[in-house]
């Protein structure tokens, strides 16, 4: 391993969506980083593709192994740990046992290693608004905040709530960042079938506060030394990110030049509190005051997508109609006769183990 110039920040899940951006944000602050993730071929290739940097070191570890978590912390001697590694929806529904081993067990292994071998290090933990469970916007529930009760509706929310409890019980310094819907301007080849199915199951009119991944990364990079020990902070974008689920599909597809590619989904049932998705609008005032991370508005994010796609939007326009037809056929509600969405029922139909 490279000899770093001073005690580093250890970042888990460093090859993931938030992890890649967080490593960049920490290095932009001049902080040395030990980045870690599973040692898969794709992850090693990602690490190898980055420009040479003597203050960025990579270590491969599986956090479900207490020994590997311990070895990682001992070898990196971190000043802070940013814990992002997790198995998130919809992958967690397909492999609930693995997901729990990572989301809860991995967090326990890592916190124990930190308490034993780096007790001075601050533990900055990635949680999710999923801990608050289904949110029916017709109930006047107000904004999500750190004191909103934990009431998870699915296994992912339960894992994230259990992991928060593990973190909040450690005797060493901690801070929890509860994230809303993380968005990226990076244009990829499109969603896989599971992600498309899951997205299509969500109530069109459910509230969600999105946030650009670079703003999330700025929040994590600031949280390693800001005056926030012992706090739970709500990480969402500025007020332009207070959307309903349908806005995401229409915004992205329009920015890509593929208007109409995603057919409308179903609305949520105003009379059934259990069939809404686990997202809502958030009060980010304290988080923004302490971490100063909100820079990318929702319109700016879409503008960047549009700029990136450039002339290719004329080609993508051709993909819109067949994509629409496929999405109609593959809708989680096709042939069910339902008039309102039921995302948890849709999860159970596709991944029976997720609710057993
Ligand atoms: N993406 C979102 O919208 C969102 C929303 C709320 C909260 N979060 C939380 O933010 C964090 C980062 O999410 P993300 O979107 O970057 O997820 P991601 O799936 O892109 O990245 C997670 C990373 O964890 C790694 N990982 C999985 N199992 C591991 C193991 N056994 N040992 C070591 N590493 C392992 C994966 O290889 C992956 O690189 C997670 O804790 C997630 O729960 C994400």
pLDDT in tens, 160-204: 999 999 999 999 999 999 999 999 999 776 778 999 999 999 999
Predicted local distance difference test score (pLDDT) of residue 355: 80
In a domain, 98, yes or no: yes
Predicted local distance difference test score (pLDDT) of residue 191: 78
Ligand 1 center to 16 CA (angstroms)? 6
Nearest atom in ligand 1 to 160's CA: 43
Q: In this structure, how many other beta carbons lie within 10 angstroms of the beta carbon of residue 150?
A: 16
Rg (CA), the chain: 20
- pLDDT beneath 50: ranges in the chain: 1-2
pLDDT tens digits, 21-57: 999 999 999 999 999 999 999 999 999 999 999 999 9
Predicted local distance difference test score (pLDDT) of residue 259: 87
Predicted local distance difference test score (pLDDT) of residue 3: 57
In a domain, 192, yes or no: no
In a domain, 177, yes or no: yes
First to last CA, the chain: 43
Whole-angstrom distance, CA of residue 333 vs CA of residue 349: 11
DSSP codes, 173-211: -EEEEEE-EEE-----S---HHHHHHHHHS-TT-EEEEE
CA angle 275, 277, 279 (to 5 degrees): 145
> Helix, strand, or coil here: 140?
coil
Bridge partners for 234 per DSSP: 178
Ligand 1 center to 151 CA (angstroms)? 21
In a domain, 161, yes or no: yes
100 within ligand 1 shell (Cβ under 6 A): no
In a domain, 276, yes or no: no
> CATH code at 163?
3.40.50.720
106 within ligand 1 shell (Cβ under 6 A): yes
In a domain, 256, yes or no: no
102 within ligand 1 shell (Cβ under 6 A): yes
Domain limits at 88?
A: 9-187+211-239
Whole-angstrom distance, CA of residue 92 vs CA of residue 237: 25
Predicted local distance difference test score (pLDDT) of residue 1: 46
In a domain, 225, yes or no: yes
179 within ligand 1 shell (Cβ under 6 A): yes
DSSP codes, 325-343: HHHHHT-TTTTT--SS--H
On whether the CB atoms of residues 199 and 191 are closer than 8 A, the answer is yes
Ligand 1 center to 14 CA (angstroms)? 9
In a domain, 180, yes or no: yes
Domain tally for the chain? Answer: 1
On whether the CB atoms of residues 134 and 278 are closer than 8 A, the answer is yes
Please enumerate, as own/partner, the contacts of 346-352 that have beta carbons within 8 Å and a separation of 24 or more: 346/197, 346/198, 346/201, 347/90, 347/93, 347/154, 347/198, 347/201, 350/93, 350/194, 350/197, 351/90, 351/93, 351/94
CA angle 145, 148, 149 (to 5 degrees): 155
Q: Ligand 1: which of 86, 213, 216, 284 to mutate, judged by most atoms within 8 Å of the beta carbon?
A: 86
């Amino acid at each position: 391993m490279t000899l770093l110039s001073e005690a580093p920040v250890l970042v888990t899940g460093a090859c993931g969506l938030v992890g890649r951006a967080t490593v960049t944000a920490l290095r932009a602050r001049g902080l040395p980083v030990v980045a870690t993730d599973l040692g898969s071929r794709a992850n090693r290739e990602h690490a190898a593709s980055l420009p040479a940097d003597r203050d960025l070191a990579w270590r491969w570890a599986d956090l479900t192994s207490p020994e590997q978590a311990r070895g990682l912390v001992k070898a990196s001697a971190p000043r802070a740990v940013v814990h992002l590694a997790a198995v998130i929806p919809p992958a967690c529904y397909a492999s609930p046992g693995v997901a729990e081993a990572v989301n809860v067990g991995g967090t326990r292994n890592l916190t124990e290693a930190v308490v034993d071998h780096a007790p001075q290090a601050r533990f900055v933990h990635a949680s999710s608004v999923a801990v608050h469970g289904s949110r029916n916007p017709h109930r006047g529930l107000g904004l999500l905040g750190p004191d909103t009760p934990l009431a998870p509706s699915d296994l992912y929310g339960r894992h994230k709530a259990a992991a928060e409890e593990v973190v909040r019980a450690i005797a060493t310094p901690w801070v929890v960042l509860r994230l809303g819907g993380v968005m990226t301007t990076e244009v990829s080849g499109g969603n896989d079938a599971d992600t498309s199915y899951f997205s299509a199951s969500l109530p069109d009119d459910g509230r969600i506060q999105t946030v650009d991944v670079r703003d999330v990364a700025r929040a994590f990079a600031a949280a390693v030394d800001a005056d926030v020990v012992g706090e739970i902070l709500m990480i969402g974008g500025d007020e332009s990110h207070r959307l309903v689920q349908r806005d995401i599909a229409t915004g992205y597809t329009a920015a890509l030049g593929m208007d109409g590619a995603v057919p409308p989904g179903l609305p949520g049932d105003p009379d059934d509190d259990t069939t809404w998705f686990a997202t809502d609008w958030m009060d980010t005032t304290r988080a923004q005051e302490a971490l100063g991370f909100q820079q990318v508005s929702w319109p700016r994010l879409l503008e960047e997508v549009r700029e990136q796609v450039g002339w290719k939007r004329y080609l993508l326009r051709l993909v819109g109609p067949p994509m629409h037809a496929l999405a109609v056929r593959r809708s989680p509600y096709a042939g069910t006769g339902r008039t309102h969405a039921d995302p948890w029922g849709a999860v159970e139909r596709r991944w029976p183990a997720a609710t057993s």
